[in-house]
Amino acid sequence: MSTRSHVGSIGVCLAAAVALTACGGGTAKPAAGGSSRTPSASTTAAGTEPYADKTPAEIQLLASEYTRTATFKKARGTVTSEGTIVSVELSFANVDCAGTIKGEGLGRTDIHATPKVVYAKHDADALRAAFKGTKAEKELLVERAADRWLKVDATHSEAKATAYVCQLSNPATMVEDNSLHITRGGSATVDGQPAFMLTYPGSNGGTATDYIAAQGRPYLLKRTETGPEPYEVTYYDFETVTQLRAPADSEVVALE
């Protein structure tokens, strides 16, 4: 097996730990009467609660669409999968996604994903954790690939696995259709921003809570879920940057 094939398994391990738990295996569906177009935010009169004219399901759809279509945003979060805590920090600019995935015993992987190629850089711990070869083979892999950018065509299965976590750009991929079971809760604050809560059954037996911006555009500011495999994702820094810099060709190594 080539060194490139060994490295590819890293993305599968890390991305699966984050994305499969957060997504819960479900595919979100628009609420009844929903549209595939980005909906418009409601204006609220002073002293009234935001979006009082909409159902909780309509608000969740509105927030998901505003968050998904933001030209730039960041996300940070943690997820527990099979007892392992994995953390992610991602930036999204247009169709590009870049950031870091770290896990207890899984090391660190940096990624930069575009529609055409996916770059990944794994530290020594990530390589040792994912590769199941002999100690000598692991150390050879570490020597050749640790802390170096690798480039894979985006259509390759390894690239798709590595970039799977980038689906966090669309909050709707993280929930199942709970439009009939969403209830509106009280107010809250997320990173100093006023918000209000929506709660609904989670995908793994717990309770999920969405924190929706109460002022300005109705972005999803935070989503949490309790239960045996809890997770938390916070969205922030909306519309602050226009592009992400991919690794230069001189930073990328070719492994066979």
- What pLDDT is recorded for position 241? 82
The percent helix, strand, coil of the chain (3-state, each to 5) is 30, 30, 40
For 149, the domain range is 3-32+49-247
Residues 6+ apart with CB under 8 A from 75: 88, 89, 90, 92, 99, 168, 169, 233, 234, 235, 236
Instruction: Examine residue 41 and state whether it is found in any structural domain, yes or no.
Output: no
Split at pLDDT 50, 70, 90, the class of 82 is confident
Q: What is the mean pLDDT of residues 34-56?
A: 62
pTM score = 0.81
Q: What is the CATH number of the domain that holds 149?
A: 2.50.20.20
Instruction: Examine residue 182 and state whether it is found in any structural domain, yes or no.
Output: yes
* Total domains, the chain: 1
- Min mean pLDDT across 33-42, 70-79, 161-170 is at 33-42
Of 57, 246, 61, 88, which is closest to residue 168 (Cα–Cα)?
Answer: 88
- What pLDDT is recorded for position 155? 92
Instruction: Examine residue 42 and state whether it is found in any structural domain, yes or no.
Output: no
Instruction: Examine residue 38 and state whether it is found in any structural domain, yes or no.
Output: no
77 pLDDT more than 80: yes
Each residue's pLDDT tens digit, 111-158:
999 999 999 999 999 988 888 888 898 898 899 889 999 999 999 888
79 pLDDT more than 80: yes
Task: HSE, CB side, 13 Å, CA atoms: give it for residue 14.
Answer: 39
Instruction: Examine residue 39 and state whether it is found in any structural domain, yes or no.
Output: no
210 pLDDT more than 80: yes
Alpha carbon distance 208, 190 (integer Å): 16
- What pLDDT is recorded for position 177? 74
Q: For residue 50, what are its two tokens? A: 């935001």
- What pLDDT is recorded for position 255? 61
Alpha carbon distance 159, 237 (integer Å): 27
Each residue's pLDDT tens digit, 46-75:
457 899 999 999 999 999 999 999 999 999
248 pLDDT more than 50: yes
Instruction: Examine residue 44 and state whether it is found in any structural domain, yes or no.
Output: no
Instruction: Examine residue 77 and state whether it is found in any structural domain, yes or no.
Output: yes
